[in-house]
Amino acid sequence: MTEKNVLTEIREDIIIATLNRPEALNALNDDLMDELSKVVDQYEENTNLKCLILTGSEKAFAAGADIKQMQPKSYMDVYKEDFITRNWERISRCRKPTIAAVSGYALGGGCELAMMCDFMIASESAKFGQPEINLGVSPGAGGTQRLTRFIGKSKSMDMCLTGRMMDAKEAESIGLVSRILSNDNFVDDVVEIAKEVANKSLVATMMTKEMVNRAYETTLAEGVRFERRLFHSMFATKDKAEGMAAFVEKRKPKFKDE
Ligand code: CAA
């Protein structure tokens, strides 16, 4: 598949996927999501890659699902083609780490796509919102569920019912984004954070990610039980032996992802 709507760049063991529909502020359509799914497949298959950064332009991460693509669609159309469910949530099922680097607008499906990543880093100019209510519909790519789990009922209702935008500061204060970075060299600075993630044992990272995600799917007791089982299993990895030996020997660990 030729890259058109999603550009990729590999920097050592980091892959940067950049949404690229500038004429529509990176509005999400099936072609773009097909390309993004393919990129995530390639990332998972390539054992040299350890972290994926999903980003957009300075003006827009993504201004939502493509309203012009949705406008002519009927109920029967979206039901039969399994709109959104077909592959729009592919990145949420990625087993390796993913970071959303958000500048500018992350609205509707754009905010929802960013929330599908493991964590979100915002530039000072980022703006988040679920404005679907202004179009006579609701969020449809998990917004009512993920946003509510991340920021709580009151804020989520506020965002979904008024359709207003929130800035990066507000998003950080309520835990939607993990940190805010300057607009200058934004993606390069996110790459530095991705390197920190990539330098760890990928096995431990993947299992840790599975544990954190389980917190959204289960009770506390079951979640802790799940964590304990995976934690115990890590004592069988070479990376556990290396990580702990390196600490004791006062040197940097050399993980082999085994
Ligand atoms: N779909 C299709 N095209 C879009 C778009 C979208 N979501 N957002 C922006 N565009 C297009 C505009 O139509 C415009 O195209 P033309 O030049 O051909 O007219 C171009 O991108 C530039 O946009 P604006 O001229 O509107 O730029 P602006 O700076 O004045 O405003 C904005 C920026 C506030 C983000 C505004 O574009 C906007 O409100 N966009 C729509 C946001 C929205 O409603 N998102 C939710 C979509 S529904 C959804 O996402 C459902 C879901 O949950 C899956």
Tens of each residue's pLDDT in the chain, 258 residues: 567 999 999 999 999 999 999 999 999 999 999 999 999 999 999 999 999 999 999 999 999 999 999 999 999 999 999 999 999 999 999 999 999 999 999 999 999 999 999 999 999 999 999 999 999 999 999 999 999 999 999 999 999 999 999 999 999 999 999 999 999 999 999 999 999 999 999 999 999 999 999 999 999 999 999 999 999 999 999 999 999 999 999 999 999 999
- Residue of 25, 29, 68 with the most ligand 1 atoms within 8 Å of its CB, for mutation: 25
Using CA positions, which residue lies closest to atom 12 of ligand 1? 24
Which atom of ligand 1 is least distant from the CA of 138?
53
How many CB atoms are located within 10 Å of the residue 233 CB? 12
Cβ neighbors of 102 (< 8 A, separation 6 or more) are: 55, 56, 61, 114, 120, 121, 122, 123, 126, 128, 177
Cα 69 vs. chain centroid, distance in angstroms? 23
CA distance 44 to 226: 23
92's tokens: 């949420």
Which residues lie with the beta carbon below 6 Å from any ligand 1 atom?
24-25, 27, 63-68, 84, 105, 107-109, 112, 131-132, 135, 139-141, 143
